[in-house]
Structure 1
């Protein structure tokens, strides 16, 4: 149902979400990949973290974190993962189109977020991929309710009453409108808190940087870390037939 969604793993353990933007790149949040390529893999083609063997494990050849990423403000929280070998596209593994640099998404645009994150404020997890539709906020409203400084690179979205939305473990995942990737989930002020929006990094704002990285050779010359991509399968997950909201308060 969301064949562009990938999971990012650190030392083999699930850590964050991401989006497949080409056969050789995933887009995610910078804070998800700070530990470097040798300890990070990406899994595509699954909707159940208990069915990892059915997916494609993609090993990272290079991690490219935005050079202006600020860990204190979480601004420029965006990064690309370049794979050793390309993903094999099939019914369960597909590339998502990115929004162009001049795209604008006004207040109340309905956008969709996917993820494997926790489903309540107590940290409860489940292994099935979840999704929810959330409205985009205008910048003025977001400024009034967001407790950190808001920048032009940030998009706010979420249920104003805090009834549903992304949570811990969903960061790095993509926000999309009509199957077009418009933003990357960065952070929120808790989960299920009324009038506390989730914050995303704008794909249109970063589009030129993303394109420049994708069309370049290695941004930093490093020794390659090589492994084989697992074979793709036409996956059916009997335990994850029903998607549900990413968060229930």
Structure 2
């Protein structure tokens, strides 16, 4: 079994390496294809999907996209905590002068939609990069998105988390595992898997263990459908509600190693709150 690692870009050149630990450097997983087994998705059908962007850090070829995010309030976007790590951004979030989210745009270099500056971040204080536990962060936007962009979020015990429930994962991730990315949003149909299946897949023997309290996993029992490198922080949706954020996994699209997601119902109610300025001094933004 390959070491479980995160699914986010790490350098401006789109070059990727395995992490020294499961998530210690927030390196991406090897990829087979973008949102493995997926198809093009219309942003009009999923307006709550946004791209995290820094052209200064990641270049302009794909609008600077390096992770995904989800609109949960007009000025709030949730994403994976590891997307805000120094290994991804090259520093702290307030040190990235053009940190934005791209909303309402399927093609990253297309027209339309909005690019909105990130003015605040909040990283779950319980997030543990060594165990992947609590992999959630909240971004505050400089201006509000329409209410129609907001997706409902699952609450504790939501039936959308029931094993066997059809779900969909969205992203702009790597298409080959070699730094080749999709230019437009894609989605893939998966299903929620049981905690027992996820624990068997990730028992912690060769890397990070699955933790049912803060994680859930989804995939295809036959393999071939999954999130992948560059999709970190993007949404897993079931029953019209956000149930997970792309977090980590071993490889992509492997039946025996499903994708692991942050369990939104366990973390979001206590973390969606007014956040501190992205810079401690609130200067330069």
TM-score (norm 2): 0.71
Corresponding position of 1:236: none
Question: Aligned residue for 2:108?
Answer: 49
Task: Name 1:235's counterpart in structure 2.
Answer: none
What is the aligned partner in structure 1 of residue 150 from structure 2? 95
- Structure 2 residues without counterparts, runs of 5 or longer: 1-44, 57-63, 86-91
Structure 2 match to 1:28: 79
Which of 203, 212, 219 is residue 158 of structure 1 equivalent to? 219
Displacement after TM superposition at 1:63 (Å): 0.8
Judged with a 3 Å threshold, the aligned counterparts in structure 2 of structure 1 residues 217 and 201 are, in CA distance, closer, same or farther, namely: closer
Provide the secondary structure at the position in 2 that maps to 1:150.
coil
Matches within 5 A, 1:183-222: 183-211=244-272, 213=273, 216=274, 218=276, 222=280
Asked if structure 1 preserves the Cα contact closer than 8 Å seen for 2:53 and 2:67, the reply is yes
Is 1:9 the counterpart of 2:53? The answer is: yes
Matching residue of 2:163 = 107
Cα distance between partner residues in 2 of 1:77 and 1:65:
8
Counterpart in 2 of 1:82? Answer: 140
**Gap regions ≥5 residues in structure 1:** 228-249
SS state of the match for residue 68, structure 1? coil
Aligned partner of 1:223 in structure 2 is: 281
Residues matched between the structures, number = 220
Q: Deviation digits for residues 64-108 of structure 1, max 9, x if unmatched?
A: 010011112111110000012222x28xx6111111234241211
